[in-house]
A and B are shown apart, each in its own frame.
Chain A
């Protein structure tokens, strides 16, 4: 109790020196919580977008389908089995037929993945209803990224070329009826969506599909012969790994911030030991034991962290709440990193993050305060009183 009382008195008495350290520490608290909040918010938003746009509540993949091997596309489609047809009719799943194709925008050539989708589906957020139009050309929808890379816009007519199940190449014209905004790059980049029935005709693959997406709120995990069930967690593995990597990158930021904070405290404490030798000698002359002096200096250091929590809360809580409400705008082009990213990221602050950050700073501050304070135990009080120690 005495150490706490004296440490508080010393800190308040030290005025500006204390408040500078406290402000640096509090800034680091707020920055760490905000930074991790942004990453968590990004993670949550990416998970949500992935679920809504692509992953649903899982997939059924044709047994030959391998998303990392385009050569499997030729073989990875077959007739829709009865159980999946029933689920399709009930709106639980939606079939997607995939074909490798080439688009020729303005005479250029560009590879893409042609996706046949049911215009009336409501399982994923892709605006497939836009395909419900009667046109001379085949109606097609593309995402913003695809439109940008092909320099296509709504109303444009372009040529596409594909290969049917017999290996015969053919070409036709499609009209871009919609360019949609989507935060998930894998739904958008290098993809073109046309009505599934049209693609089936083009590929000569009637009533066939490559994958089925299970609705986000639907439950289905039945075993279907010839089709592999991929649950939501499996589909999110890649993205979660990327987010983990982002967090590891963020950890460096975290460590640098912590080092800065600890350097400030350590520096203050080491300077204190030398600047406050007389004071330490006086404490001892007045009857404080050496462990009491060590604990006083340690508590002083640790108290910086506690005061920083209070100061950090004064300006940090309104700032963090404001960020939570308005989000952080992401710069243009930041969604090219391959991870779903919204125009604004809304940070998510967990109690665990806040408490663990506070505890970690408190513990490290206490340790870096203790280390120089330990030097006190080697001081000769007679020299300390006169400030003789170098």
Chain B
């Protein structure tokens, strides 16, 4: 294990109460992620990939073991510190986009910068850059309801990337998209990974995503069954 890695996970166990018993979603996970990785947690439904992604994203806590993300021990983070960690260092991309419905494209992308209390002029520049990355400069005033699924996910990517975080966590980002849109956004993320050195971690079982991964971590029943570096389309 490298202490300077972006993410260090040691013997992670996550249990959920089910009725009077417990369900073990993750069992003895050991993983390390370096800066700039484009990695995927791959596996069928119920394999524990989303749970692992949530713990890395400090949205959930481990039952046992340690998870260190960007120098912070997730198990010992209070709610406020976890929020600061996410606010400053992480971006999230969700399967259902989770855009704020009453905001315009511009306002959705601007939102994380408001939380960082960035100045108005810096915010505007950063949002315009992010819109440029995802090719949505012409949709600046549109609301999510006026966009296609692919466009919504591109807005979500821009929102995750606008603050140039060290880490972007994407949970099934292509699940609601057709093949063409899936390839488009994956190319976009691969490009951003290359240009900005942002670490991307996906939770997916979509072959289209897997084609683009540089590292594929296969999970089954809460355990890692395979962890391999791959040559892919993103190269």
Do chains A and B stick together as partners?
Answer: yes
- For residues 285 through 321 of chain A, which have their beta carbon under 8 Å from a beta carbon of chain B? 285-290, 292
Tell yes or no: A375 within 8 A of B by CB: no
Given the complex, which residues of A lie within 8 Å of B79, measured CB to CB? 289-290
Tell yes or no: A357 within 8 A of B by CB: no
Q: Is the beta-carbon distance between A382 and B107 smaller than 8 angstroms?
A: no
Q: Is the beta-carbon distance between B100 and A279 smaller than 8 angstroms?
A: yes
Tell yes or no: A14 within 8 A of B by CB: yes
Chain B residues within 8 Å of chain A by Cβ, number: 30
A13 to B99, CA, bound (A): 13
Q: Select which of B60, B80, B98, B112 is within 8 A of A289 by beta carbon.
A: B80
The 0/1 profile, CB within 8 Å of A marked 1, for residues 80-119 of chain B is 1001111110101010101111110001000110110100
Tell yes or no: B43 within 8 A of A by CB: no
Tell yes or no: A6 within 8 A of B by CB: yes
The 0/1 profile, CB within 8 Å of B marked 1, for residues 347-383 of chain A is 0000000000000000000000000000000001110
Q: Is the beta-carbon distance between A282 and B98 smaller than 8 angstroms?
A: yes
- For residues 237 through 293 of chain A, which have their beta carbon under 8 Å from a beta carbon of chain B? 278-279, 281-282, 284-290, 292
Q: Select which of A10, A287, A382 is within 8 A of B54 by beta carbon.
A: A382
- For residues 95 through 136 of chain A, which have their beta carbon under 8 Å from a beta carbon of chain B? none
Tell me whether A287 and B83 are in contact in the complex, defined as CB-CB below 8 angstroms, given that A13-B103, A381-B59 are known contacts.
yes
Q: Is the beta-carbon distance between A385 and B102 smaller than 8 angstroms?
A: no
Chain A residues within 8 Å of chain B by Cβ, number: 26
Q: Is the beta-carbon distance between B87 and A287 smaller than 8 angstroms?
A: yes
Q: Is the beta-carbon distance between B100 and A285 smaller than 8 angstroms?
A: no
Given the complex, which residues of A lie within 8 Å of B88, measured CB to CB? 287
Q: Is the beta-carbon distance between B112 and A286 smaller than 8 angstroms?
A: yes
Tell yes or no: B57 within 8 A of A by CB: yes
Closest to A12 in B: B102
CB distance from A282 to the nearest CB of B (A): 4
A53 to B48, CA, bound (A): 88
Closest to B171 in A: A385
Given the complex, which residues of B lie within 8 Å of A282, measured CB to CB? 92, 94, 98-100
Closest to B159 in A: A286
Q: Is the beta-carbon distance between A286 and B102 smaller than 8 angstroms?
A: no
Tell me whether A285 and B57 are in contact in the complex, defined as CB-CB below 8 angstroms, given that A5-B114, A290-B79 are known contacts.
yes
Tell me whether A287 and B86 are in contact in the complex, defined as CB-CB below 8 angstroms, given that A14-B102, A381-B59 are known contacts.
yes
Q: Is the beta-carbon distance between A382 and B103 smaller than 8 angstroms?
A: no
Given the complex, which residues of B lie within 8 Å of A286, measured CB to CB? 86-87, 92, 111-112, 115, 159
The 0/1 profile, CB within 8 Å of B marked 1, for residues 1-37 of chain A is 0100110011011110000000000000000000000
CB distance from B114 to the nearest CB of A (A): 6
Counting chain B CB atoms within 10 Å of each CB, which of A9, A282, A286 scores highest?
A286
Q: Is the beta-carbon distance between B83 and A2 smaller than 8 angstroms?
A: no
Closest to A13 in B: B102
Given the complex, which residues of B lie within 8 Å of A289, measured CB to CB? 79-80, 83
A385 to B171, CA, bound (A): 11
The 0/1 profile, CB within 8 Å of A marked 1, for residues 120-144 of chain B is 0000000000000000000000010
Given the complex, which residues of B lie within 8 Å of A10, measured CB to CB? 102
A14 to B101, CA, bound (A): 9
Q: Is the beta-carbon distance between B54 and A2 smaller than 8 angstroms?
A: no
Counting chain B CB atoms within 10 Å of each CB, which of A290, A292, A386 scores highest?
A386
Given the complex, which residues of A lie within 8 Å of B57, measured CB to CB? 285
Q: Select which of B83, B84, B86, B98 is within 8 A of A385 by beta carbon.
A: B98
Given the complex, which residues of A lie within 8 Å of B80, measured CB to CB? 289
Q: Select which of A2, A13, A284, A285 is within 8 A of B114 by beta carbon.
A: A2
Given the complex, which residues of B lie within 8 Å of A382, measured CB to CB? 54, 59-60
- Beyond known contacts A13-B143, A288-B115, A289-B80: 6 more, CB 8 A cutoff: A285-B92, A286-B115, A287-B88, A287-B90, A287-B112, A382-B59
13 chain-A/chain-B pairs, Cβ below 8 angstroms: A10-B102, A12-B102, A13-B107, A14-B102, A279-B98, A279-B100, A282-B98, A284-B83, A286-B92, A286-B111, A287-B84, A289-B83, A290-B79
Which residues of A pack against B, CB within 8 Å?
A: 2, 5-6, 9-10, 12-15, 278-279, 281-282, 284-290, 292, 380-382, 385-386
User: Which 6 pairs of residues, A with B, have the shortest CB-CB distance?
Assistant: A287-B87, A13-B102, A282-B98, A287-B86, A289-B83, A285-B92
